[in-house]
Amino acid sequence: MPYLHQPEDLDNLLEGEPSYRADQLRDWLYRTSVLSSTDMTNLPAEVRSRLDPLWPFDVEAEQSADGGTTRKWLFRAPDGAAIEAVLMGYPRRATLCISSQAGCALGCTFCATGQFGFERHLEAGEIVAQVAYAQAFLRQIGMPGTPDHLTNVVFMGMGEPLANYDRVREAIRRMIEVMGMSARSITVSTVGIVPGIRRLTDEPWPVSLAVSLHAADDDLRSTIVPINRRYPLADLEEAAAGYFEKKRRRLSIEWTMMDGVNDTTDQATKLAAIASRLHAHVNLIALNPTPLTEETASSERAIDAFARELGRRGVNVTVRNTRGRNIDAACGQLRLLVGKPGLKPRV
């Protein structure tokens, strides 16, 4: 499983082979990703057979939606951990949403991943292999009307990336230093692990940062995002401001719209103040249903009114379209199909 090796350390895996073989392999793994080691045409069959299995997971299910422009993979690690990734194609963009953990320990009330609890951290190689797999898919199979390579990677699948800091850091390092992706094309989405934001501030890369806020005062936020009790809003805002000061990358604030919970004028007013101070862009997402969530999505009218209120106060705001709702690939739904063996692809 070569992705579980450090890219700089592939000579060890190919012991006994001339050293240029490691360079060739590094190219295949991280530059010209391919779905199968048999596609690594300049490597002798004997070397290729030593690379199997190529991926650190099996592809247990693959589904597509939105006319083939959304594709979800359920990968299964040998220990049974489920890893999900979703590829979303657009005319000039291909965005991959990746997982950083199997499950999540943070228990946000409205999130399917959180509701099922924490399984384990993903290794750096398991994170970066999701990216390489999607690259290989785009290059060798392709998606209608979509570039043949990834343009963006977002840590918005399962898990809290800053709760798995060192492995996520190493995955980001490989994407930038070995795969050649630009830091700004990578977005780390966090629910607000303040020490993690501070560490990320000290890294050399200006990756994009998204903060999942969902509520603009501590009383409300602590009820839907439990980690807010540990890292309250004032601390979170200070850490996010520090990131912006250092990187000069526009922050985004994610806000899942829940009927009667966080779609009030009062919340819009408080959110506008925070977003203005942080120079942040606000993304509004209607809540996607999950089995254990009591909250329901805000109505379209409520979302429009909320967006207008933010706009009136000078805040940049986007209402995000949901991709992949019918295949449970939308935000917060990634965990739904896991643990249902025998799932058949619906491609």
- Residue 331 falls in the annotated catalytic set: yes
Q: Which of 14, 77, 171, 285 binds ligand SAH (CB under 6 A)?
A: 285
CA atoms within 13 A on the CB side of 302: 19
In the complex, the smallest distance separating the C-beta of residue 287 from ligand SF4, rounded to whole angstroms, is 11
x/- track of binding to ligand SAH for residues 197-226 (CB under 6 A): ---------------x--------------
Of 191 and 268, which CB lies nearer to ligand SF4 in the complex structure? Answer: 191
Total residues found in the chain within this entry: 347
Q: Considering the complex, what minimum distance in angstroms separates the CB of residue 90 from ligand SF4?
A: 24
Give the SS3 label for residue 130. Answer: helix
Rounded CA gap, 295 and 262, in Å?
Answer: 10
The verdict on 287 binding ligand SAH (CB under 6 A) reads: yes
The bridge status of strand 152-155 relative to strand 94-97 is parallel
Q: Does 113 bind ligand SF4 (CB under 6 A)?
A: yes
CA angle at 83 for the pair 26 and 50, rounded to the nearest 5°: 35
Which residues in 236-265 contact ligand SAH (CB under 6 A)? 254, 256
Residue 21 CB partners (closer than 8 Å, separation 6+): 14, 43, 47
61 binds ligand SF4 (CB under 6 A): no
Alpha carbon distance 218, 226 (integer Å): 10
Within 23-82, which residues bind ligand SAH (CB under 6 A)? Answer: none
Tokens standing for 259? 């009927």
Decide whether 17 or 254 has the Cβ nearer to ligand SF4.
Answer: 254
| CB 32 to ligand SF4: min, Å | 32
- Using the minimum distance from each CB to ligand SAH, give the nearer residue, 10 or 310: 310
Catalytic residue among 84, 126, 295, 309: 84
Q: How far apart are alpha carbons 249 and 241 in whole angstroms?
A: 11
Which helix (H) or strand (E) covers residue 73, if one does?
strand 70-76
Note if the bond before 44 is cis, omega within 30 degrees.
no
104 binds ligand SF4 (CB under 6 A): yes
Question: Phi, psi (5° rounding) for residue 99?
Answer: -100, 145
Closer to ligand SAH at the Cβ: 95 or 288?
Answer: 288
Among 40, 111, 129, 307, binds ligand SAH (CB under 6 A): 111
Catalytic status, residue 97: no
**Nearby residues of 262 by Cβ (< 8 Å), 6 or more positions away:** 214, 215, 216, 220, 224, 255, 256
Q: Is 50 helix (H, G, I), strand (E, B) or coil?
A: coil
- Taking CA atoms, 300 is separated from 259, 320, 329, in Å, by 10, 12, 21
Q: Which member of 169, 332, 336, 337 binds ligand SAH (CB under 6 A)?
A: 332
Backbone dihedral angles phi then psi of residue 137, each to the nearest 5 degrees: -60, -50
User: Does residue 125 touch ligand SF4 according to CB under 6 A?
Assistant: no
Instruction: Please report whether residue 129 would count as binding ligand SF4 according to CB under 6 A.
Output: no
| Positions in 148-167 near ligand SF4 (CB under 6 A) | 159-160
Q: Which of residues 136-175 bind ligand SAH (CB under 6 A)?
A: 155-156, 160
Q: Which stretch binds ligand SAH (CB under 6 A): 31-39, 53-61, 87-95, 287-295?
A: 287-295
DSSP state of 184: G
Q: Cβ atoms within 10 A of the Cβ of 238, count? A: 13
* Catalytic residue ranges: 84, 331
Contact positions vs ligand SF4 (CB under 6 A)? 104, 106-108, 111, 113-114, 159-160, 191, 212
Contact positions vs ligand SAH (CB under 6 A)? 110-111, 155-156, 160, 189-191, 212, 254, 256, 285, 287-288, 290, 331-332
